[in-house]
Amino acid sequence: MINRVVVTSVGIISPIGLTSEITWSNLIKGKSGISQITTFDTRNFETTIAAEVKNFDPIECFGKKEARRMDRFVQLAGVATLEAIENSGIKINPNNQNRISVMIASGIGGIITLSEQNQVLFEKGPSRISPFLVPMMLPDMASGQISMMIGAKGPNYSVVSACASSGDTIGLAYEAIKRDDVDVVFAGGSEAAICPIGVAGFSACKALSKSNDKPESASRPFDLNRDGFVLGEGSAILVLEKLENAINRGVKPIAEIVGYGASADAHHITQPAPGGEGGARAMNKAINGASISKDEINYINAHGTSTPLNDKFETMAMKSVFGDQAYNISINSTKSMVGHLLGASGAIEAAVTSLSIKNSMIHPTANLENSDPECDLDYTPSGFKNLDINYAMSNSFGFGGHNTSLIFKKFE
């Protein structure tokens, strides 16, 4: 049996909003969530800015005891999942829980907990290490804890493919429903790596922006003056559902997922393959899987990191795939406002793509003021755009040469 797979709801907690509704509203306004880091002392750091989730109280959400047993990335995933459940109207019970799956990715996992406990080890010795260190740091623990929280007993795992992690997760969830392994998947990603070792590590890679004096404009995908990405945190969860299941529940989908493609660069641990040829292969595979013409895609949510090589090679990849038609496609980068959510970036961008289809509107690429001549496509620089979206593509690429492309369409 080959099932159609639809998106019936999303949940988001991001640097520009604690819910999907607030996040979407602020994206349309072009509002940035990037500011000076508040969670630790950034003296002696080359980069002092990030896109933090603000005004989030995990104790209020989960209670003091449970919150203390969760790394921040798990807490964020929990909030996004609870919103996704509420928006979907799904009732999980003994009759359906074996057919409901949780697949939540994290590229890095509990790095905050690991960093803090490492300090405890050096200062106080091994006897003072928390018994929750290992379960709190594991990248799969968002997926594991959420399944316990909501009672979903279907397949449960976490994909790790760097910044393509949650894009791959959504793709694998789509395929699981398509072949009738499960009826519903809570699919997405969560990341919380804004801590001293996280910022220092990415800074050592020469990946981060140093525009510390102008944080709101530091993330500037496709702009000539871009100088690196801005580290972000947050979570996004999509409820993917077998169409028949959604119809039986009387729910109108907000979008349909129809294609997934993945590839490897086999080139370099951090740099994309020249010309973006790996990304182009993932895009072509997704298009072929969707059984559509390339001309039918009229919106792309780009990976768009604001790094010199990524933006250039992603542009080259889109031109390679679409030819002259690339100039007629509306493109944007969500990272221009929320920063780079690493393993959760594919999920928030897939959620935003679904909301764009639902609302017939796309957000701008913020801070695109001086276009790079090598990035000469339509990146939506001047504010939101009303757009009737037929088919949309969402791209995610990761360290290690991972490339993922998802294709969504308007539900009919």
Candidate list 195, 267, 268, 303, residue with the active-site label? 303
pLDDT above 90: residue 1: no
Mind listing the pLDDT tens digit for each residue in 5-56?
999 999 999 999 999 999 999 999 999 999 999 999 999 999 999 999 999 9
**Cα–chain center distance at 342:** 7
Closest CA to 259 of 324, 321, 311: 321
Task: Output the CA angle 86-90-96, nearest 5 degrees.
Answer: 150
Give the three-state DSSP class for 7.
Answer: strand
Residue 257 tokens, joined: 């997922």
CA distance 20 to 351: 9
Mind listing the pLDDT tens digit for each residue in 78-109?
999 999 999 999 999 999 999 999 999 999 99
Whole-number pLDDT of residue 29: 98
Whole-number pLDDT of residue 241: 98
Whole-number pLDDT of residue 184: 98
Candidate list 163, 363, 375, 402, residue with the active-site label? 163
Candidate list 267, 268, 340, 402, residue with the active-site label? 340
User: Is the pTM above the cut of 0.85?
Assistant: yes
Q: Is 167:238 a contact under the CB 8 Å cutoff?
A: no
Annotated active-site residue 163? The verdict is: yes
Q: Is 73:254 a contact under the CB 8 Å cutoff?
A: no
Annotated active-site residue 340? The verdict is: yes
Mind listing the pLDDT tens digit for each residue in 298-348?
999 999 999 999 999 999 999 999 999 999 999 999 999 999 999 999 999
Whole-number pLDDT of residue 186: 98
Mind listing the pLDDT tens digit for each residue in 258-270?
999 999 999 999 8
At residue 174, what are phi and psi to the nearest 5 degrees? Answer: -55, -45
Residue 402: pLDDT band by 50, 70, 90 thresholds? very high
Q: What is the mean pLDDT of residues 115-130?
A: 96
Whole-number pLDDT of residue 180: 97
Whole-number pLDDT of residue 187: 98
Give the three-state DSSP class for 317.
Answer: helix
CA distance 200 to 89: 42
- The CA dihedral of 118, 54, 270, 166, to the nearest 10 degrees, is 100
Q: What is the mean pLDDT of residues 199-204?
A: 97
Closest CA to 317 of 392, 374, 369: 374
CA distance 407 to 395: 9
Q: Which CATH architecture fits 1-412?
A: 3-Layer(aba) Sandwich (3.40)
* Alpha carbons within 13 A on the beta-carbon side of 216: 4
CA distance 205 to 229: 11
DSSP 8-state symbol, 272: P
Mind listing the pLDDT tens digit for each residue in 221-243?
999 999 999 999 999 999 999 99
Mind listing the pLDDT tens digit for each residue in 351-387?
999 999 999 999 999 999 999 999 999 999 989 999 9
Beta bridge partners of residue 255, listed in sequence order: 7
Whole-number pLDDT of residue 17: 98
